[in-house]
Structure 1
């Protein structure tokens, strides 16, 4: 059935809570192969998410939050997102994010990319950089 409203139902959850459950115009998410945007009528798919910034567009404007690793499922004008954690801009501790970024950069510099720990530290770096990027975006609005 065709959706004439142009809206999609977005559900975003973590193991601890339901973060968002609402109708939105679109959502952009950080996929393993890069960012992607879902609009009404999108082809169904399932994908892995990586740490980054989720961008949600609804009738009141744009909302952005950091998301951790997880999965997104798109089907029938519904987007279901399950991630390990989320952070809104006002929940981010900037000093902690800077410390974590520096720690990750230091560890990565000392590791060979084939070391099993390399991807874990690369993931931590993405989380820290996403937090700092989102804070920067909020400040520059």
Structure 2
């Protein structure tokens, strides 16, 4: 018997097809806040912000880090176009800690708004890597 809760998820980054599979739910961070998506969700396109995506397959849950992009939600499939997507084993936590320190310095020493916004995004990416890489 087919599971009527299953829908298709595809995560694409510029350098690879990061993930493609049948899932029952996906949770991720958007510019409007965190969102959980089940089959039959209302169609929506939204902006992705740095955070951890939780992919619930019928028999397993997978975590990955996503950094900026777009999400297209249709009733029976979700497509994520991510600037960068990483599995936990691909993350160098020491490098992420160094990036966090650099970003915090840039925020504290910023003399214009554009530099501060870029530094804040770099800090979010570093914190996401640290959180996921430590799991």
Pairwise TM-score range, normalised by the shorter structure: over 0.9
Measured against aligned partners, the alpha-carbon deviations of 1:33-71 in whole angstroms (never above 9, x if no partner) come to 211010011010000001111100011221000011100
Contact 2:92 2:133 in 1 (8 A): no
Q: Deviations over 1:62-114 (max 9, x none)?
A: 100001110000012210000011111111111100000011011111225x6
Distance of 1:45 and 1:91 partners within structure 2: 30
Structure 2 unaligned spans of 5+: none
Show CA shifts across 1:3-57 (max 9, x none).
9611111010001111111110100111012110100110100000011111000
Name 2:110's counterpart in structure 1: 111
Structure 2 CA distance for aligned equivalents of residues 35 and 77 of structure 1 = 20
> 2:95 maps to what in 1?
96
Counterpart secondary structure, 2:118: helix
* Corresponding residue of 1:66: 65
The number of equivalent residue pairs is 134
Give the match for residue 130 of structure 1. Answer: 128
Work out the CA distance in 2 between the residues paired with 1:99 and 1:33: 29
Number of the residue aligned with 2:23: 24
Deviating runs (4+, > 6 A) in structure 1? none
CA distance, structure 2, for counterparts of residue 20 and residue 91 of structure 1:
14
- The DSSP-based 3-state class of the residue aligned with 1:69 is strand
Larger proportion of strand: 2
Q: Distance in 1 between matches of 2:58 and 2:74?
A: 21
Please give the root-mean-square deviation of Cα atoms over the aligned residues, in Å.
Answer: 1.5
Structure 1 SS opposite 2:34: strand
